[in-house]
Every structure is written in C-alpha cells, then in structure tokens.
Chains A and B, each alone.
Chain A
Amino acid sequence: MTESVDTQEPLVRIRGLRFSRGNRVIFDGVDIDIPRGKVTAIMGPSGTGKTTLLKLIGGQLRPSAGTIHVDGQDIHRLGNRALYQLRMRMGMLFQSGALLTDINVFDNVAYPLREHTDLSPSMIRKLVLLKLEAVGLRGARDLMPSELSGGMARRVALARAMVLDPMMIMYDEPFTGQDPISMGILVELIRALNDASRLSSIIVSHDVQETAAIADLVYVISDGKVIESGPPEAMMNSDTEWTRQFMQGLADGPVPFHYPAAALEQDLLEASC
C-alpha cells in the first residue's frame, strides 16, 4: 500500500490542526509537513504542546478541527483495526520511556515482536540482542525497568521502538538525561537509523545544538502556531527575533518563559491582602 502513494507526498501531513485542553487552546491552526526519509525536529518552549502533537499524530488524541494524514491515511478516520495496523509501522519513544515495569529489559524489547510476529524464539533473541547492542545495553538485558536509570530506560525504550523496523519513529525528548557520551552515540544512532533504513524521524527536543546537528528540517512552534520552519542553519540565523532568541538560548527577547499569568506585582498584591 505504501507503493501506491506518491513518494514525494509527505509522510505526515497536518492541515488546519486545532486542539484544546479544557479552555486552553493548545493548537490553533497548525500546518506541518513531515517529509519521508528525513529527520524533522519540532522545537518550542516547554508546555507548548509538542508531546500533545506526537499523540495527535499517533491517533491517541482527537483534534477538534483539521486533519492529520499519515502515509496518505487520515488517522482520525481509520477504524480500530486499520489504526492498529498503521501504528505497527510507527514507533514512539515516550518522554518517560513507558517501559512495562513487570517484565525485564529483554522481554520489554521483545514484546512487540512476540505480539505482532510469529518469529521463532531464537530469532527474537537475535533481533532483541542486536537492538540492545545498538543502544549499548546488551549487558542490562536481565534488569527490571525499576533498576534502570532514567537515561537507560529511555535507551531501552528506543530499542523497543525500533525493533519492528517501523517506517517512522517519533522521539519525545530522546536526549534528556543522557551523559555527553551516550548523547553523542544517540545522535549518531538516530541519524544512522534514519539513513540506513529509509526511516523518517520526528524529534521533539529542547537540545538545540544536538537537534540542529542531525535535523534536516526544523519546525518551531509556540502559542499554538508554527512560528517558523526551515533547515537548521537558516533557523539559527533567522531574521525573526523570536526564532533567533529561542535557537540561541538568549534570556532576553520576545519568547515567554512564563506560563500565561497575570502580572507578578498584581499576584503578589492579591496574596498580601
């Protein structure tokens, strides 16, 4: 079914996306194209809805308006079966790792294989060990998730996300909690995975340097809108003040650090009376 779709067509096409949590509007008319075979980064201040965006793409949340097409299919119009078929070809690395805590590292990585394939146990073992080797945790295969550090858990989750060889992987903050060495290895791994297997990657991250180093395309979102998009070098030297401040991590500028609130003086005054 993939072949029938024009390969120039973006893998994920988001049009006019609107989504709100209660009264708070998270997205207000967002258009994003995620090209095939590229690494696309989605950046923005904390709390703008990057995780929410990934969940929308995965079909776990429903937008109030707008459409999301993944590989040519409108993900929110699919039936349950088709949605699960499609999800088998999407990997997702959760911000928290989301490992199953009652089984060990090996079984966690083997889980999607055992659920969705009829491979023999020895074959599963080979595949799992290869993936664990790639994230440097082959020796940790008998540990339980509670015995892992946050960074290790995220690497196990990465091994699990790629074990079915999906067409796309969504990484939610893959670099948080990694030391410089594993960070470097992860950056290379994501890039290598992407180039070796015609994979498409979506990275959500605050780590401007690392992300800029591997991304082919960057979207910056804030306040429910796409502020700017383009290749990372162009973004670094963008003429929009906003983007430049964010990408270069300057404290002064138009980017709000605070969650929307009344003026500080007013809040403090109210508290005192």
Chain B
Amino acid sequence: MLDSLARLGRVGIGVLERLGRGHLLLLAIFVGLPDLLPRLGLLLRQIYSVGVLSVLIISVSGLFVGMVLGLQGYYILSQFGAEQTLGVMVAASLVRELGPVVAALLFAGRAGSALTAEIGLMKATEQLSGLEMMAVDPVRRVLTPRFFAGFISMPLLAALFSALGVLGGYFVGGGLLGVDDGAFWAQMQAKIDLHEDVYNGVIKSFVFGLVCTWIALFQGYDCVPTSEGVSRATTRTVVHSSLAVLGLDFILTALMFGE
C-alpha cells in the first residue's frame, strides 16, 4: 500500500523534474537568440534540414488530403443539393484544422524524430561534451538554431499544406465532379474570413511548431546516451508531439472559435 503510494510519488516527481528541465532548456534556448543573429548561416542550414526536406511529404499529403475532402464533401453536400459550398467546406477544414494539425503531425514524424535522433547521437558520441570543453555552449550553438528553424518552418509548411489542399479539392470538385468554378471560389471567398480562419490557423501552426521542436530537442538533449536510449527518445518525441498537437488543437480551437 505505502509502497505503491511511494511509487506513484516517484513517478510524479520524475514527471515534474522533466517538466522543469524542459522549461529551463527552453529558457536557455531563447537566451541564445542574440547569439544566433550574427550566425544566420547556422539557421539557414537547419531550415534546410528541418523545412526544405519536409516540403515533399507535406505537399503530397496536402494535395491528397484536399482531394479526398473534395470527394467526400461532394458526396455529402450533393445530397442536400449544396455542392456549391464545396469550396467553403474544403477550405474551412483545411485552413482551420487540417492544415496546421496534419502538417504538425507529419512534421513531428519527419523532422522531430530526426532532430531527436541527431541530438541524442551527438550526446551519445560525446559531441555535446566536446563542445562544452571547447568552451562552446551546446545549447546556443546546436539547439537554438534548430529550435528557431522549426519555429519558422512549421507555419510555412502548414500554409503549403493548406494551399495545396485547396487546389487538390478544386481539382477534384471543379475539375472531375463538375462543381461550378465560380461558385466554388466565390462561396469560399465569401465565407472564409482572413482573421477568423486564416490568421487563427497560422497562430495554431506557430504554436505547434514551437511545441513540436521543443519536445524533439528536449527529448534528444535529455535522452540516455545509448543507442537504446536514443531510439526510445525518438519514439517519445513522435508520441508526445502528436498528443500535444491534438490536445493543444482542442484548447486553441475552443479559445479561438468558441464564443
């Protein structure tokens, strides 16, 4: 009885400790920002590996998700004779929800896991210790550029996802199923609001970018420096990021769209 209570307490303390270390790390990453500005080359290189290399998977997924939305939306809406509003349905679901959320999930799987594995291996092969002994702060030099690369790339990727999704939906709806072009775009433009829908989606994707990159970096930096530790940390990155994205999406949606 007391034993299980103690075990519960130990788990709780462990979680709190990790949370504490995670927040301290985030703080340290931000403190390194002024140091990053004269070294934009580092940032560019990371945007390349975090952002550019994710473009393909994000674009293809966005296109297909949009096409599926076009198909499904058409079947449902045409039952009510409302296929004119297909554009609204496709765009609203993409811009408000699917764009930021699915892009973030893909980002966690593609870029987040890579970040964790990279940092974890740098730790396991003592590269981080090596930097410290060369009087170079590994948080500033290694983590800060990666963090801001993720933070910048995520909204761009989400915008790409949504835009290609809308085009995919248009291709299926307007091109294959014969929804009127004019109605598709006009209804969409009339109903989708720049502030309410587009900006809120962008805010979401900034939040997701921050959280996913932060989780990935922390898991890598805090992992047990062995191959097993790194592989566990990589798994944790994907799981924690996905849960965090979905949970935060609920909270953000409630805050933004609930009145």
Question: How far, in angstroms, from A157 to B126 measured CA to CA in the complex?
Answer: 12
On chain B, the residues within 8 Å of A96 by CB distance are 125-126
User: Which stretch in A68-76, A111-119, A185-193, A260-268 binds the other chain?
Assistant: A111-119
Cα separation A46 to B118 with both chains bound (whole Å): 29
* Interface residue A101 (Cβ < 8 Å from any Cβ of B): yes
Q: Is B133 on the interface with A (CB-CB < 8 A)?
A: yes
Give min CB distance, B47 to chain A, whole Å: 15
B interface footprint on A239-262 (CB within 8 Å = 1, 0 otherwise)? 000000000000000000000000
A11 at the interface (CB under 8 A from B): no
Is A174 interfacial (CB-CB < 8 Å)? no
Nearest residue in A to B133 (C-beta to C-beta)?
Answer: A92
Q: Contact size class for A? A: 20 to 34
Q: Which of B93-101, B134-142, B159-167, B213-221 contacts A (4 or more CB under 8 A)?
A: B134-142
Tell me if A87 is interfacial: C-beta within 8 Å of chain B. Answer: yes
A-chain residues with CB within 8 Å of residue B126 when the two chains form the complex? 94-96, 98
Task: Indicate if the CB atoms of B127 and A112 lie closer than 8 Å.
Answer: no
Tell me whether B127 and A100 are in contact (CB under 8 A): yes
Interface size on B, residues (CB 8 A): 13
C-alpha gap A111/B133 in the complex (Å): 12
Whether B132 lies near A94 (C-beta < 8 A) is: no
Bound complex: CA A98 to CA B134 (Å): 11
- The distance in angstroms between the C-alpha atoms of A98 and B122, with both chains bound, is 9
CB–CB B127/A60 < 8 A: no
Assembled-state Cα–Cα distance A160/B130 (Å): 10
User: A98-B125, A100-B127 known; A116 and B132 CB under 8 Å?
Assistant: no
Is A167 located at the chain interface by the 8 A CB criterion?
Answer: no
B187 within 8 A of A: no
B129 sits at the interface (CB 8 A): yes
A94 to B129, CA, bound (A): 9
Q: Is A88 an interface residue (CB 8 A)?
A: yes
A112 to B122, CA, bound (A): 17
Q: Does A35 contact B (CB under 8 A)?
A: no
Say how far B133's CB is from chain A's closest CB, in angstroms: 4
B134: A residues at CB distance < 8 A: 87, 111-112, 115, 160
B: residues with CB less than 8 A from A are 122, 125-127, 129-137
20 sampled A-B residue pairs with Cβ under 8 A: A58-B133, A84-B135, A84-B137, A87-B132, A87-B133, A87-B134, A88-B135, A94-B130, A98-B126, A98-B127, A99-B130, A100-B127, A100-B130, A101-B122, A111-B134, A111-B136, A112-B134, A112-B136, A157-B130, A160-B134
Q: Name A's B-contacting residues (CB within 8 A).
A: 55, 58, 60, 84-85, 87-88, 90-92, 94-96, 98-101, 111-112, 115-116, 157, 160
Known A58-B132, A160-B134; 18 more pairs at CB < 8 Å: A55-B129, A60-B133, A84-B137, A87-B134, A91-B133, A92-B130, A94-B126, A94-B133, A96-B126, A98-B126, A98-B129, A98-B130, A101-B125, A101-B127, A111-B136, A112-B134, A115-B135, A157-B130
